[in-house]
């Protein structure tokens, strides 16, 4: 295997637990707390939820395992990992494009992810100032509209959020990413349980209405839009197709069991999404609000509930701290592939690599911020900059990289080695092969085509 111009000895996670929390930290984020509930709300609740659960295990889990497995083989940044592993399997070096698109994707996503992370951070301050006390729907709408037109405040919070991300990443894999997640993830778990507990207590019978909304099968509501959205969200939610899990795998020792760790990460990710729904929907229903409010569900609808219930002030603060933490454990993972690449392939050390990439991403974030106000009319393909970046990354780059990874892992790599590495019995390996060789590629191509429609 070629070693290229790799400079330094490679970092490693200090324990399986640390790795698992970091991977779960990447997976659990705005996707679980902001996106999942509003998608479920818009797409008829349980039909979407149950389909999403199925896809997480059938499609997300195998790709997650393959990304880690390839990353662990390569022990480098995603681009050179793909190149080296391809060469060692006797394949073309061009497979590095899977890594290139992945790293570029995570880089671009972070530019707008950090802006939304900034919203979450600012909403902690708004909640603490009592801005939501006694508010009506019109008022929270007004707060949000004013907020989006205030460039200075958006910029300040985007900067704060990006700074926090860069600070953790600069500390390194063990002292930064791993330690950050070891502190934040348990905190997140506790906050989430408190939020669900309170929602159950404060909303009385509406808690069951929310449970029914999320879980009682309603297959009639299942249409192609919901199926495809659930599939796309399974990818986004597990941070797949962005080079991230491959980069995380590159810091992994041989002793870690990929399948059982992936199972735990998928379960944690799903549990956080579902519990977030159980923290949000009871309040939405108890206050007679709209479940299908769309992306504004958390920033416009939920504050109405916080502003009009006993203990809502504290609950609002806790909720937005929870959201900010979750966003932060994901944003650090979005920065990692670029930093790993620069650290390995340029004379820059980790700190300089982090500063340089963060400044460029931060600057791109400013373009996203302006697309909410002064540049709202700057459009390409009928989309403003924020929408364009979101579309390009989640609808195109993510499925393309995901498809590349799965085809590479299922068709280009030696399957016997994979079977040994995953320690699969022959019947489980049969299922694995059918999923990775046929079911998943067809599913991913479908998302890709759908993205263009």
Nearer to ligand PFF, 135 or 228 (CB): 228
Nearer to ligand PFF, 26 or 250 (CB): 26
Ordered alpha helix ranges (H), 287-311: 301-307
CA distance 25 to 31: 12
CA distance 251 to 22: 11
Nearer to ligand PFF, 273 or 286 (CB): 273
* Residue 26 binding ligand PFF, by CB under 6 A: yes
> Distance from first CA to last CA of the chain, Å, rounded?
41
Which span (28-36, 92-100, 178-186, 308-316) binds ligand PFF, by CB under 6 A? 28-36
What DSSP element (H or E) covers 436?
Answer: none
Distances in whole angstroms, Cα of residue 304 to Cα of each of 108, 287, 297, 299, 366? 33, 8, 10, 9, 29
CA distance 133 to 71: 49
Nearer to ligand PFF, 336 or 344 (CB): 336
* Residue 405 binding ligand PFF, by CB under 6 A: no
* Residue 27 binding ligand PFF, by CB under 6 A: yes
* Residue 287 binding ligand PFF, by CB under 6 A: no
Show contacts with ligand PFF in window 326-385 (CB under 6 A).
330, 333-334
Ordered alpha helix ranges (H), 89-149: 96-128, 137-149
* Residue 236 binding ligand PFF, by CB under 6 A: yes
Nearer to ligand PFF, 102 or 409 (CB): 102
* Residue 246 binding ligand PFF, by CB under 6 A: no
Q: Which residue is nearest to ligand PFF (CB)?
A: 31
CA 286 to chain centre: 29
Site string for ligand PFF, 57-96 (x = CB under 6 A): ----------------------------------------
Do the beta carbons of residue 326 and residue 76 sit within 8 Å? no
Which span (118-126, 143-151, 158-166, 233-241) binds ligand PFF, by CB under 6 A? 233-241
Go through the chain and tell me how many residues it has. Answer: 453
Which span (27-35, 182-190, 202-210, 302-310) binds ligand PFF, by CB under 6 A? 27-35
Among 46, 239, 324, 384, which residue interacts with ligand PFF (rule: CB under 6 A)? 239
Nearer to ligand PFF, 25 or 282 (CB): 25
CA distance 361 to 355: 10
Among 51, 106, 140, 301, which residue interacts with ligand PFF (rule: CB under 6 A)? 106
Q: Which two tokens stand for residue 36?
A: 């999942």
CA distance 120 to 279: 17
| Distance in Å, CB of 19 to ligand PFF, minimum | 16
* Residue 231 binding ligand PFF, by CB under 6 A: no
Do the beta carbons of residue 273 and residue 32 sit within 8 Å? yes
Among 70, 116, 244, 339, which residue interacts with ligand PFF (rule: CB under 6 A)? 244
* Residue 401 binding ligand PFF, by CB under 6 A: no
* Residue 242 binding ligand PFF, by CB under 6 A: yes
Local structure of 380: helix, strand or coil? strand
Local structure of 381: helix, strand or coil? coil
Could you tell me how many residues of this chain bind ligand PFF (CB under 6 A)?
16
CA distance 302 to 295: 11
Nearer to ligand PFF, 239 or 250 (CB): 239
Among 75, 111, 121, 237, which residue interacts with ligand PFF (rule: CB under 6 A)? 237
Q: Which two tokens stand for residue 10?
A: 């490679």
What DSSP element (H or E) covers 432?
Answer: helix 426-434
Among 18, 29, 180, 399, which residue interacts with ligand PFF (rule: CB under 6 A)? 29
Contacts of 316 (CB under 8 A, 6+ apart): 127, 132, 303, 306, 307
Which parts of this chain interact with ligand PFF (CB under 6 A)? Answer: 26-27, 29-32, 106, 109, 236-237, 239, 242, 244, 330, 333-334
């Amino acid at each position: 295997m070629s070693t290229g111009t790799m400079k330094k000895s490679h970092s490693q996670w200090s324990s399986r637990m640390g790795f698992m929390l970091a991977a779960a930290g990447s997976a659990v984020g705005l996707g679980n707390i902001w996106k999942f509930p509003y998608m479920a709300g818009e797409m008829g609740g349980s039909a979407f939820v149950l389909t999403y659960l199925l896809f997480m295990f059938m499609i997300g889990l195998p790709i997650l395992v393959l990304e880690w497995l390839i990353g662990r083989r390569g022990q480098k940044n995603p681009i050179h990992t793909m190149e080296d592993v391809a060469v060692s399997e006797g394949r073309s070096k061009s497979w590095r494009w899977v890594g290139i698109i992945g790293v570029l994707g995570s880089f671009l996503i972070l530019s707008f992810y950090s802006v939304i992370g900034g919203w979450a951070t600012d909403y902690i301050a708004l909640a603490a100032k009592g801005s939501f006390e006694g508010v009506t729907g019109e008022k929270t709408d007004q707060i949000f509209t004013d907020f989006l037109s205030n460039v200075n405040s958006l910029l300040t919070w985007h900067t704060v959020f990006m700074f926090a991300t860069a600070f953790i990443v600069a500390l390194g894999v063990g002292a930064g990413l791993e330690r950050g997640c070891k502190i934040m993830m348990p905190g997140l778990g506790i906050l989430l349980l408190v939020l669900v507990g309170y929602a159950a207590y404060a909303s009385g019978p509406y808690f069951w209405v929310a449970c029914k909304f999320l879980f009682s099968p309603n297959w009639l509501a299942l249409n192609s839009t919901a199926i495809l959205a659930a599939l796309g969200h399974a990818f986004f939610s597990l941070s797949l197709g962005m080079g991230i899990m491959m980069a995380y795998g590159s810091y992994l020792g041989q002793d870690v069991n990929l399948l059982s760790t992936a199972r735990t990460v998928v379960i944690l990710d799903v549990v956080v999404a579902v519990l977030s729904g159980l923290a949000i929907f009871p309040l939405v229903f108890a206050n007679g609000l709209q479940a299908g409010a769309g992306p504004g569900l958390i920033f416009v609808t939920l504050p109405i509930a916080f502003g009009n219930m006993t203990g809502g002030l504290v609950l609002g603060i806790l909720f937005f701290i929870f959201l900010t933490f979750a966003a932060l454990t994901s944003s650090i993972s979005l920065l990692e592939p670029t930093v790993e690449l620069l650290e390995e392939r340029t004379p820059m050390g980790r700190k300089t690599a982090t500063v340089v990439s963060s400044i460029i991403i931060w600057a791109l974030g400013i373009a996203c911020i302006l697309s909410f106000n002064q540049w709202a009319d700057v459009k390409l393909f009928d989309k403003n900059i924020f929408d364009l970046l979101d579309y390009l990354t989640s609808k195109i780059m993510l499925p393309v990289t995901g498809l590349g990874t799965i085809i590479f892992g299922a068709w280009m790599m030696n399957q016997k080695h994979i079977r040994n590495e995953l320690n699969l019995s022959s019947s489980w390996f049969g299922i694995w092969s059918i999923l990775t060789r046929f079911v998943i590629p067809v599913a991913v191509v479908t998302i890709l085509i759908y993205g263009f429609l």
